[in-house]
Amino acid sequence: MTRPGRVICVGHAAFDSVYRIDAFPVRPTKVTASRHDRSVGGMAANAACAIAALGGEVSLWGPIGDDETGIRITDELRSAGVVADPGFVVPGARSSHSAIIVEGSGERLIVSYRGNALEAPETLIGERPLDADVVLIDVRWPAGARHAAARARGLGIPIVLDAEMGNVGLVRSLVPVADHLIFSEPGWAEWLGHAPDEQETRAALRKLVEAGARLAAVTLGERGVLYAAASAEGSILQRQEAPEGLAGVGGQEEHRGVAYLPAFPVVAVETLGAGDTFHGAYALALAEGQSLPQALRFASAAAALRCTRSGGRAALPGRQEVLALLAA
């Protein structure tokens, strides 16, 4: 690469207050937190911070209010190295913020207040130059997502869709225009309308690629990633190597163009933000010209490292850490 990969992240920015406790109580009561952190949050914003930590050039296009929370979000983004355009501050709007409870195992409970900044129209984007190699879109700002996707599609800029649960109607409208579809496991079940078995997942991923997607994937946390990918010629990529086994994913080998990427074995301390780190790292890898399998491994390594430590932006892995894990 003669220059860093350039990514625009479109969607949700929030401010998170994270409380760490030993274990979730079995009934409502008072619990003492062992630690309290405050950091930027939201799917697109977290991905943008991950990209910046990995050495990419990244801008966030996401509406926030002109309230105190919005000021904190902007300060955090700029400290992380993310370009936060003041044109996305909506006068009089309320910014998103969350209280996040993380227990000793690393699992979390998230209580979110979305505010109303995400109701901003697509005119907030307008005709801003799409000066990027890749556009990453989440599902929290519907008007902005549709507008940015349409413009990126018209310019031939690859679109990565973070297909999380919570707005299946928006996901359905974006799937036909996005190039790289990455579903969380809950988002995948919401997309299909039920929790599928492995055979149905493989068939559905294959159909998405046959319909035009470059990549269709479901992230399964510590169980890895199932994905179908298109070759340079547009046909389904047929990988030669097959996994030894799909622990927790059915135990079947790769077949008919659907592959399995195991997760990197790490000792997880916290899962908060791991999915957003995966999406950001994948988008950056694409922007750098990595192949689809390489981009997935890069993203998987970054997400795994994020799980090995607690904290907000400070827990994001750097480029050399990811490369070292890939080499190992």
Report pLDDT for 252.
35
Q: DSSP character for 122? A: G
Q: For the chain, list the domains and their CATH numbers.
A: 6-24+32-327 (3.40.1190.20)
Q: Give the integer Cα–Cα distance in Å for 323 and 38.
A: 28
Q: DSSP character for 269? A: S
Q: What is the pTM of this model?
A: 0.90
Q: Give the integer Cα–Cα distance in Å for 178 and 143.
A: 15
Give, in order, the Cα–Cα distances in Å from 283 to each of 48, 118, 279: 10, 23, 6
Strand (E) or helix (H) holding 24: none
Q: Which residues contact 190 (CB under 8 A, 6 or more apart)?
A: 165, 166, 168, 171
Give, in order, the Cα–Cα distances in Å from 328 to each of 3, 256, 264: 26, 30, 10
Residue-wise pLDDT tens digits, 104-126? 877 788 899 999 999 999 999 99
Name the token pair of 323.
């490369």
Mean pLDDT along residues 53-74: 97
Mean pLDDT along residues 256-281: 90
Mean pLDDT along residues 75-96: 96
Mean pLDDT of the chain: 90
Report pLDDT for 1.
56
